[in-house]
């Protein structure tokens, strides 16, 4: 058997020197190509997010790079249909050019594919990452309904304690009261928000019309505040699509507190649907929602023991594609939501001036001939 030649750094250096003396141009060219290949590979991996786990500190995976939304609305608040984000293999690829029930069915498959339920107990620690406030440079958690400044670690009791708010109330989810081991619609991260004392004010009141800051409306209603009403609407739209047991309605009698139907499928309703559609238009998607949506999809949270909590693995489509709301609940078609680019106007050019211009050019042509 032939003996394998030992390879070490000296041998490599010697071979490179010999090759360089023999053909220096070729060696330099190969060296440049290797650098370009390395740089190109790094840029591709970095832009695709494949290096995030290695470049970021795993104890605080909250990006500080703004997520920019390019959402435009017409004069009536309808979001224009965007043709971007449908590249082959992209998250919404199979939903392109769909509307109505066909779009609903496709979105259900999309948001359930890769969905990994997180326990209600672990949700405490995920929210401390996902609900960071970009307006404070992610140094605090944003409280639901009142924008309260919340600590970036879970505090369950005592001063500065905070809770997990069910935007679609737990009593209206068609399941028993959740506990820390629950993995169901009661622990879905898209429906949970960090909250402080205003949680008791909201209770399980249905969302009602109002203005200004968050407040109760009558004995049964609750207005979530001007800055939160769009967030509320998009969360409830997601829950309605994600879980077949849940339904949006305009029937207020189905939304009022009823001890006989609370925590049962019979009482699994939320709304008011028409009001939610209005809020969706009046309070557009913001940077906080975009960051939160992406963290729930792919972010790694850390519990107090240093254990990583796997991401839930799905997105709320009505945050990234707000026009879907119109295509599902408002009987709009894609053609209704296309932005028509109007050509810039030109100054009026009198027809008699055009006539004299042509005549003058005609005379020039005749003279030149």
- Concatenate the DSSP letters of all residues of 256-289 into one string: S--TTTTTSGGG-EEE-HHHHHHHHHHS---HHH
Instruction: Let me know whether 37 and 107 are in one domain.
Output: no
* 191 assigned to some structural domain: yes
Q: What residue numbers bound the domain in which 21 lies?
A: 14-47
Instruction: Let me know whether 67 and 38 are in one domain.
Output: no
Instruction: Let me know whether 74 and 41 are in one domain.
Output: no
Contact between 150 and 162 under an 8 Å Cβ cutoff? The reply is: yes
Instruction: Let me know whether 115 and 200 are in one domain.
Output: yes
* 367 assigned to some structural domain: no
Contact between 204 and 186 under an 8 Å Cβ cutoff? The reply is: no
Instruction: Let me know whether 136 and 242 are in one domain.
Output: yes
Q: What is the pLDDT of residue 65?
A: 41
Instruction: Let me know whether 19 and 151 are in one domain.
Output: no
Q: 360, exposed or middle or buried, with CB in 10 Å at 0-12, 13-18, 19+?
A: exposed
Instruction: Let me know whether 63 and 158 are in one domain.
Output: yes
Contact between 268 and 134 under an 8 Å Cβ cutoff? The reply is: no
* 124 assigned to some structural domain: yes
Contact between 247 and 240 under an 8 Å Cβ cutoff? The reply is: yes
* 271 assigned to some structural domain: yes
Q: In the block, which residue shows the tokens 């949270």?
A: 301
Instruction: Let me know whether 191 and 96 are in one domain.
Output: yes
Q: What is the pLDDT of residue 342?
A: 55
End-to-end CA distance of the chain: 93
* 369 assigned to some structural domain: no
Q: What is the pLDDT of residue 364?
A: 54
* 243 assigned to some structural domain: yes
Q: What is the pLDDT of residue 230?
A: 98
The residues of the chain scoring below 50 in pLDDT are 1-7, 48-61, 63-68, 344-349, 354
* 355 assigned to some structural domain: no
* 348 assigned to some structural domain: no
Q: What is the pLDDT of residue 37?
A: 74
Measured CA to CA, the distance from residue 295 to residue 312 in angstroms comes to 9
Instruction: Let me know whether 41 and 171 are in one domain.
Output: no
- Is this structure's pTM higher than 0.85? no
Q: 324: Cβ–Cβ under 8 A, 6 or more apart, which residues?
A: 95, 103, 107, 317, 318
Backbone angles phi, psi at 166, to 5 degrees: -85, 105
**Of 282, 149, 171, the residue nearest 223 (C-alpha):** 282
Q: Are strands 149-150 and 141-142 parallel, antiparallel or unpaired?
A: antiparallel
Instruction: Let me know whether 194 and 96 are in one domain.
Output: yes
Per the structure, the count of domains in the chain is: 2
Q: In the block, which residue shows the tokens 């409830």?
A: 236
Cα 146-288-339 angle, rounded to 5 deg: 115
Q: What is the pLDDT of residue 29?
A: 72
Instruction: Let me know whether 23 and 152 are in one domain.
Output: no
Instruction: Let me know whether 99 and 235 are in one domain.
Output: yes
Measured CA to CA, the distance from residue 348 to residue 352 in angstroms comes to 12
């Amino acid at each position: 058997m032939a003996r394998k030649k030992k390879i070490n750094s000296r041998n490599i250096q010697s071979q490179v020197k010999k090759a360089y003396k023999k053909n220096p141009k070729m060696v330099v060219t190969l060296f440049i190509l290797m650098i370009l290949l390395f740089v190109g590979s790094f840029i591709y991996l970095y832009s695709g997010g494949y290096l995030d786990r290695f470049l970021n500190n795993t104890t605080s995976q909250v990006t500080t790079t703004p997520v920019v939304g390019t959402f435009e609305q017409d004069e009536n608040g309808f979001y224009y249909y965007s043709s971007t984000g449908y590249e082959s293999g992209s998250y919404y690829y199979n939903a392109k050019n769909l509307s109505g029930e066909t779009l609903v069915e496709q979105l259900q498959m999309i948001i359930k594919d890769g969905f990994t339920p997180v326990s209600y107990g672990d949700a405490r620690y995920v929210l401390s990452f996902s609900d960071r406030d970009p307006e404070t440079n992610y140094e605090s958690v944003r409280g639901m309904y009142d924008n309260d400044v919340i600590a970036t670690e879970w505090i369950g009791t005592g001063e500065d304690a905070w809770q997990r708010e069910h935007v679609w109330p737990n009593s209206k989810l068609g399941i028993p009261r959740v506990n820390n081991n629950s993995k169901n619609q009661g622990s879905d991260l898209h429906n949970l928000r960090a909250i402080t004392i205003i949680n008791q004010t909201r209770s399980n009141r249905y969302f009602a019309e109002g203005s200004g800051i968050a407040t109760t409306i009558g004995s049964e209603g609750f207005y979530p505040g001007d800055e939160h009403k769009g967030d509320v609407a998009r969360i409830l739209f997601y829950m309605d699509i994600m879980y077949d047991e849940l339904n949006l309605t305009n029937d207020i009698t189905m939304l009022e507190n009823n001890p006989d139907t609370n925590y049962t499928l019979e009482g699994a309703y939320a709304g008011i649907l028409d009001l939610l559609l209005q809020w969706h238009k009046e309070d557009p998607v913001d940077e906080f929602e975009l960051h939160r949506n992406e963290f729930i999809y792919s972010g790694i949270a850390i519990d107090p023991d240093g254990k990583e909590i796997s991401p839930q693995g799905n997105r709320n489509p009505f945050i990234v594609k707000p026009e879907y709301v119109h295509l599902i609940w408002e009987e709009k078609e894609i053609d209704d939501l296309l932005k028509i680019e109007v050509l810039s106007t030109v100054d009026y050019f009198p027809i008699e001036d055009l006539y004299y211009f042509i005549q003058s050019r005609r005379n020039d042509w005749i003279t030149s001939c």
